[in-house]
Amino acid sequence: MLDQPDDIHALFHGAPQTTEFKKLRKRIVRYTREAIEQYGMIEPGSKWLVCLSGGKDSYTLLAVLHELQWRGLLPVELIACNLDQGQPGFPATVLPEFLEKMGVPHRIEYQDTYSIVMDKVPEGRTFCALCSRLRRGNLYRIAREEGCSAVVLGHHRDDILETFFMNLFHGGRLATMPPKLVNEEGDLFVYRPLAHVAEADCEKFANAMKYPIIPCDLCGSQDGLQRQQVKQILDGWEANSPGRRQVMFRALMNARPSHLLDPKLFDFAGLTRDL
């Protein structure tokens, strides 16, 4: 049924008819639905701001959410949003033309955060932290202006795992990007429906659908980023022991405070023996 052209969203027109692609698509949809249900993301009748960067992950997010909506499994309104941050050479027409062609409700916002980042960040330092804060602030504003209850991001399983190890190695804490949180102002949810989806699956899906991928040259042009270092470590572990990433990811869903060392999470001082 899903392969009939009249039955699916335009985002899936021209989808490969191979068994491999059908399994990939089914897996991504299943994992996304699981995360949405497991973390209680659905408020019927609400409106989501789906953030679209033009990367493989955000295209995958946009497509799978529309499939779930088409199936009647996601009773929310979706509006795609791209924040053009004024990066030199950014192909500003690609996403508007794509979204128009796909018939996806959308908003394109231009804010020159690039100049701010270049002005404020000292030479040799990475741009990611300030760039992310400025982007997030604008997305929250847009979500409010559009009447949305949630900002929806395309972070996947590997992003979450990499962030955990970055915090472990460099921040001295056990923390990562949660699938669901409330912003500091307390008026918007932030969702990551692809939390269970592997990066490799996003890449295979977006490439198979021939979506017009836009690279992030601002961050990708810098060598020695902590995230890239962590990714290389995880790639090495995965190569030596296939499936290691998924095992480590499952550990994030199976925390045991009594077997860690944080007295704020477990009352070690109050432990008593049976006499």
Q: For residue range 227-266, what is the model confidence (pLDDT) as tens digits? A: 888 999 999 999 999 999 999 999 999 999 999 999 999 9
Confidence of residue 137 (pLDDT cuts 50, 70, 90): very high
Backbone angles phi, psi at 108, to 5 degrees: -105, 125
The CATH number of domain 14-259 is 3.40.50.620: yes
Across 121-146, b (16+ Cβ under 10 Å) vs e yields eeeeeebbebbeebbbebbbebbeee
Q: Which of 113, 35, 96, 102 shows the shortest CA–CA distance to 70? A: 102
Q: Burial of 5 by CB count in 10 Å (0-12 exposed, 13-18 middle, 19+ buried)?
A: exposed
Which residues are documented as binding site for [4Fe-4S] cluster? 128, 131, 219
Which residues are documented as binding site? 128, 131, 219
Predicted confidence (pLDDT) per residue in 86-105, tens digit: 888 888 899 999 999 999 99
Distance CA 60, CA 62 (A): 6
Evaluate if pTM is beyond 0.95: no
Distance CA 182, CA 246 (A): 26
195, 35 Cβ separation under 8 angstroms: yes
- Total count of residues recorded for the chain: 275
The strands making up 189-191's β-sheet, listed across from edge to edge, are 106-110, 77-84, 47-51, 150-152, 189-191, 180-182
Provide the pLDDT for residue 265. 95
Predicted confidence (pLDDT) per residue in 10-20, tens digit: 999 999 999 99
